[in-house]
Homo-oligomer: A and B are copies of this chain.
Amino acid sequence: MITVGVIGYGYWGPNLVRNFAEVPGGRVGVVTDLHPARLSQVTARYPATRVSTDHRDVINDPSVDAVAIATPVSAHFDLAMAALRAGKHVLVEKPMTATSEQSMTLIDEAEKRGLVLMVDHTFVYTAAVRKIADLIAGGELGRVLYLDSVRINLGLFQPDYNVIWDLAPHDLSIMNHLLPKDAEAISATGESHLNGHEDIAFITAYYPDKMIAHVNVNWISPVKVRTTLIGGEKKMLVWNDLEADEKLKIYDKGVDVKSQEGVYNLLVSYRSGDMWAPQVEQVEALRLELRYFVECITRNEAPFNNGCAGLKVVRMLEAASQSLAKRGALVYV
């Protein structure tokens, strides 16, 4: 039985607690949060769980095997470092840390101590992303030409970072999980209208072999959109995460190019065939991820969304921030 301590019971913490409480082999021992009001909610729902306003009651608790950190990003590094030093396995929310240096320090510390360090990239556990990963790996789409993701809504302004650091980690972690190679360079544009941090931003990531990815994130959109297009040489897909059913549609559409003397352009022809929406399971992604976290600890294995996966996202965020400051100028990752 792995006993987990959860630090932070704001937006995401309740989901961590609920799922850890029901994962086989897991239990929630302590929850800490700076706000006593939130802790009384914990007590109401989970009378057997201890609560505290002091995170050290998690870190120093010898019965705690693993610590889940769901605080603002600025606190991630210190808390994760303290937990690792106390010999705890760590699950940290995305983005992993505020800088890539911090991420590297955490990776080293976990490595040195033989502890599991996992970053919560929940989306890669969704049935949709797992299905897309299978389709790409199985060659069904052919070579991927582009990925185009939109993640916009009327969103909560974050006091300490911009819309890219808030929303894009989802898209970047999905891209890193799905695409065969890593991004080489990033161009980002955007604008801040209200509180000094960008509330609308656009990221282009250049990949080897003419792959390109684009991410559109926006806190001031009147409508909520969560749509990703992936264009492959053989097939293309649309993932609309807001659809209750038919989240994933795969189109037998594409462009065939036959190069021939002189009349090149006439030989770009279109295919437009059937569409197919595979049934995807209805499992809560976070449940799967937390079960896997517990299993990794039990089996002493490194998770695939480990510290390095977290670092890769932070590096892309840093590159995007630099490009944003130079209004689109290319920054190598």
Contact = CB atoms under 8 A, between A and B. Distances in A.
Contact of A222 (B193, B216, B237): B237
A255 B157 contact: yes
A275 B272 contact: no
Interface of A: 45, 47-48, 145-146, 148, 152, 154, 157-159, 185, 187, 189-195, 200, 202, 204, 206, 210-212, 214, 216, 218-224, 229, 231, 236-238, 242, 244-246, 249, 251-255, 257, 264-266, 268, 270, 272-279, 323, 326-330
A327 B159 CA distance: 31
Give the secondary structure class of A's interface.
Answer: strand
A187 B187 contact: yes
Nearest to A155: B270
A276 B279 contact: no
Given A187-B328, A216-B216, A274 B279 contact: yes
A161 to B, nearest CB: 11
A200 B251 CA distance: 18
Contacts of A192: 210
Given A190-B212, A212-B191, A328-B204, A246 B275 contact: yes
